[in-house]
Each structure stands twice: as structure tokens, then as C-alpha cells.
Amino acid sequence: MLRKGLTLAAFGLALVAGPAMAATTQAELKDIHWSFEGPFGKFDQVQLQRGYKVYREVCSACHSMNLMYFRNLGQKGGPFYDPKYPNPNENPYVKSLAHDIQVGDIDQDTGDPVKRPATPADKFAAPFPNEVAAAASNGGKAPPDLSVMAKAREGGPAYIYSILTGFVTPPAGLTIPAGKYYNPYFPGDLSGSWTGSPDHVPQGGVIGMPPPLAPNKVTFDDKTPSTVANQARDVAAFLAWAAEPKMEERKQFGLGAMIYLVIFSVLLWFSYRRIWRNVAH
């Protein structure tokens, strides 16, 4: 009897867990295979390196990553991790990457604000001094911080990839304000700017970001063709890593813990059967 109830409960839970439909619309995200999917998935280090390059050369012009430090690039599982340098602060490649970037500091003698080359202990420098400045230079809305972007949007890296590769010419009948762009993957409600049939309002919304990627905009050090799709995929993977840098450690730890728990459960089951073997119940 209770078993029947359980089945009903499971069915009901599946209903509850279903995606909540919002008043806004959005095209179905592109389905991309990621190396870090699944219980054994790992980040592809070379892909992360390319992704960092895309972020550094394209995205970082407008988007901050305030939770990221240069040392993160060289930590275990990071794009530039080198087993020779378990302490990422000593990784020479990370040091030189940091050195290329100027960060703000205070002069120790005069107290004046100065610029100096970054060290691995420094945060990624933000492109704008504050949010007001960021908004003022970007049509009134500050570009969001990308540190945990892959966790902050439904779909994560697939969303990032879809947005970056999803810029299309708006369909006839859709008015897009100047300085804005149509993107079917950006959640929005376009019914107000649509002159066609109200039953066929285009999916998606208007985004303030112009299409950021272009073929060969970034030169990859390996032989990967620098297409928009590759750039988008690599930077989405990089952002997925940045949002969850301990993911590999977590899955590895989890595997061990789960194997242990299963064995433990089996042992307890036998122990339980033996203790109860002579009790009618």
C-alpha cells in the first residue's frame, strides 16, 4: 500500500522538479557535449587555456571576474596547473600571465594610487573602477561579473555558448532599439516590440552586448581553428571551471565516498540480518 504511495510521490516529485515556465521566453539552449559532464567528467586543460585567452582578449574588456585570482589559473585542475609547481604562486607561467596585467595599488611611500604589474596573489583587474562607471560606459547597464556566471544562469555553460553563438538578424516585424541586439537565447518578452501576429512572438529578448566574437579574433596557440563556435565553446568551458574550480576534486572525493558507503551499507545489511535472524517480526 505504501509502495503505491511512494510511486505516486515519485511521480509528483518529477512534476514539481520540472522546469518552471516563466512569463519571459527563450529559445531552447544548444546541446553541447562538455568534457566535464557526468560523474567522471574532467575539464580539458588545453580547452581551459584557450578559454582563458578568449576571456582575456575579448570578454575582459567589459566583464570583470572579481572572484578570480591569477593564482587560481595555476592551482590543481586549473588551466595552467603544472605538477612541478604545486604552489600556484610559484608557477612561472602564471607569474608571467599576471605580470602582463596592470593592477591598481597604493604607493608605499606617497600613498598615491599607482599601477603595477600583477602577481599571482592579485585579483583579475576589473575593466571599470565601479559599477556606475561600468553602467555609464555600456548603455546604462553594467556588464555582469563572470566569476560564477556558469552557475548564475539556467543551463550554465550551454547558456553561455548559446548566447555567444546565437546572435541572428531580427525577424521582420521586430523593432530592436539602437545599441541593442536581438538574441533568441536571451530570456525576454518581445511582445511589446513585435508588430506581427501575437501568436508568433519571437522567442528571446534584446541584449545590450554586441556580438563579441568573430572568426580569428583570438589566435589559439594550438592548431584549433579560431571559429566563433570554438571560441564560444572554449570560453564557456573556462567560465564553467571558474564557477566551480573544485568540481574535479568534488567528483573524485565523491566517488571514493560513495564506494565506501555502498560497502558499508552491505556490511550493515549482513550485520542486521544476523542480529535479527531469530526474531519473528
Considering only residues 64-123, where is the footprint of other proteins by CB under 8 A?
66-67, 69, 71-72, 75, 87-89, 108-109, 120-121
Shorter beta-carbon distance to other proteins: residue 38 or 113: 38
Query: CA dist 181 to 133, 174, 209, Å?
Result: 22, 11, 7
DSSP state of 281: -
Cα–Cα distance list, 45 to 34, 68, 78, 174 (Å): 12, 17, 7, 42
Q: Which of 13, 106, 132, 214 binds other proteins (CB under 8 A)?
A: 13
Nearer to other proteins, 31 or 199 (CB): 199
* In the complex, minimum distance from the CB of residue 214 to other proteins, in angstroms, rounded to a whole number: 28
Q: Min. distance of Cβ 119 from other proteins in angstroms?
A: 8
- Is there a contact between 145 and 134 (Cβ–Cβ < 8 Å)? no
Query: Minimum Å distance from CB 261 to other proteins?
Result: 5
Which one of 5, 140, 192, 198 is in contact with other proteins (CB under 8 A)? 5
Contacts to other proteins from residues 33-62, by CB under 8 A: 39
Cell digits of residue 4: 503505491
Report the C-alpha gap between 250 and 262 in whole angstroms: 18
Among 33, 84, 223, 281, binds other proteins (CB under 8 A): 281
Q: Pick between residue 21 and residue 178 the one whose CB is nearest to other proteins.
A: 21
Q: Which is nearer to other proteins, 37 or 57 (CB)?
A: 37
Q: How far is the CB of 222 from other proteins (least distance, A)?
A: 28
Kindly provide the b/e burial profile for residues 163-175, where b requires at least 16 CB atoms within 10 angstroms of the residue's own CB: bbbbbeebeeebe
Give the contact letters, 133-172, x = binds to other proteins (CB under 8 A), - = no. -----------xx-xx--xxxx-x----------------
Size of the site for other proteins (CB under 8 A): 73
Q: 228 with 214: CB under 8 angstroms?
A: yes
**Distance, CA of 71 to chain centre:** 19
Closest to other proteins by CB, 85 or 220? 85
* Residues in Cβ contact with 49 at an 8 Å cutoff, skipping those fewer than 6 apart: 79, 80, 221
**Sites for other proteins among residues 219-248 (CB under 8 A):** 243, 245-246
In 110-150 the beta strands, taken as DSSP E runs, fall at 113-117
